[in-house]
Amino acid sequence: MNRALTLISLGTLLAFASTQLLASGNAESGKKKSATCFACHGTDGNAVDPQYPRLAGQYNIYLQQVMHEYKDGQRNNPIMKGMVATLSDQDIEDVAAYFSTLPTKLDTLSGHVEGDK
């Protein structure tokens, strides 16, 4: 039983450490690099127009993944592809760090899911 607890604790520690390593980026630098994002996603990451996703409070790794998917064409959106085309990996990490640290104003999905009225 003691060995099982040790293995679980070690696994949890490794999972947490790897998540933190993957979730790198400088939020302050990301704020500066996000200036063009504000037009659609809002200065606080809480877009008021429902056609634009709210980025505030999203998981850092998720934001990084999405930006990479737009950049490499896995996600097909010509506007976003153009927006991320010149971003380096460090830029993407910084932008993701910035938006992931912001408080979200999304308390329900009502009206925020495509197809909702």
- Residue 58 pLDDT > 70: yes
Mean pLDDT on 76-104: 97
Fold type of domain 25-117: Cytochrome Bc1 Complex; Chain D, domain 2 (1.10.760)
The whole-number pLDDT of residue 34 equals 97
Other C-beta atoms lying within 10 Å of the C-beta of residue 46:
17
Scan for tokens 């200065």, then name that residue. 43
3-state secondary structure 90-108: HHHHHHHHHHHHCCCCCCC
Q: Find, among 101, 65, 71, the residue nearest to 87 by Cα.
A: 71
The whole-number pLDDT of residue 110 equals 65
Scan for tokens 């959106």, then name that residue. 77
- Residue 114 pLDDT > 70: no
Domain ranges in the chain? 25-117
Instruction: Tell me the pTM.
Output: 0.73
Please return the burial class of 23, using the count of CB atoms within 10 Å of its CB with bins 0-12, 13-18 and 19+. Answer: middle
- Residue 24 pLDDT > 90: no
